[in-house]
Amino acid sequence: MPYRLKKFLSLFLTTSLLCLGSHLLPTVSSIPTAQILAQAQATQDRSDEAQQLYQTGVEQLSKGQFGEALETFKQVLVIFQEIGNRVEEGNTLNNLGAVYSNLGKYQQALNYFQQSLAISQQIGARSVQGATLNNLGEVYRNLGKYQQALDKFQQALAIAQELGIRAGEGSTFNNLGLVYHELGQYQQALDYYQQALVIQQEIGARSAQGATLN
């Protein structure tokens, strides 16, 4: 076989094998392993920081320290957005809405609740979605927008029942009772209050029982 032909065939076969072999090779990151590990650790550190702040915010909210809770949850929100934790971003937006609702700033509360609802629907976080719908219903009730309140409470109730969240179910029954009471539809209000009371007694929610009985 002529030398040039042998050289051509050798080059052709080598090139063909390289092309075939390339399909079997894994993609190798151009980022050094140490850098990847450092980034992962930094993200975890930020997440831990956010979780600690989140718990602080929850405690402040439960104690009625709304100004402090507002600042804390805003810090938490920034961190969760930075690290891309959508579930906790939705939770934090919901808590910011709760703070504004407690302050009587209902339009701002609606804004945060709606953002939380959009995220929970997008990622399929049903429990967050249910809690946020319940909170939206409460804001609409406080604004006297009773039909919108009923709509949100019914959606929240369906999710609580679907997920078997008895505390959420009881709370929503109670909220539905409040709306019907304010509408002057006392028999419907009583029906919902009684359903709420049964669940609250079942799960031992003493403070909720007291609120319903009042």
DSSP string, 152-208: HHHHHHHHHHHHT-HHHHHHHHHHHHHHHHHTT-HHHHHHHHHHHHHHHHHHT-HHH
Q: For position 208, what pLDDT does the model report?
A: 56
Tell me, yes or no, whether 83 lies in a domain.
yes
Lowest mean pLDDT among 41-45, 61-65, 179-183: 41-45
| Rounded mean pLDDT, 5-15 | 41
Domain finish residue from 101, 124, 147: 124
Which CATH number belongs to the domain containing residue 154 in this structure?
1.25.40.10
pLDDT band for 45, please (50, 70, 90 cuts): confident
Residue 65, classed as helix, strand or coil, is coil
pLDDT band for 33, please (50, 70, 90 cuts): low
Give one word for 141, left, alpha or beta, with left for phi > 0 and alpha for psi -120 to 50.
Answer: alpha
Q: For position 124, what pLDDT does the model report?
A: 96
- Structural domain boundaries enclosing 176: 126-214
Tell me, yes or no, whether 97 lies in a domain.
yes
| Rounded mean pLDDT, 134-153 | 98
Find the helix or strand (DSSP H, E) in which 14 lies: helix 3-22
| Rounded mean pLDDT, 13-18 | 41
pLDDT greater than 60 at residue 169: yes
Tell me, yes or no, whether 32 lies in a domain.
no
Question: Do residues 111 and 89 both lie within one domain?
Answer: yes
Spatial distance between the Cα atoms of 209 and 163, rounded to a whole number of angstroms: 22
pTM, entire model: 0.77
Question: Do residues 132 and 113 both lie within one domain?
Answer: no
Domain finish residue from 124, 155, 176: 124
70, 99 Cβ separation under 8 angstroms: yes
Q: Which two tokens stand for residue 80?
A: 């969760």
pLDDT band for 23, please (50, 70, 90 cuts): low
Question: Do residues 117 and 46 both lie within one domain?
Answer: yes
Find the helix or strand (DSSP H, E) in which 6 lies: helix 3-22
Tell me, yes or no, whether 61 lies in a domain.
yes
pLDDT greater than 80 at residue 19: no
Tell me, yes or no, whether 6 lies in a domain.
no
The residue behind tokens 């929100």 is 77
| Rounded mean pLDDT, 74-84 | 96
- How many domains is the chain built from? 2
Closest among 205, 135, 133, 130 to 160, alpha carbons compared: 130
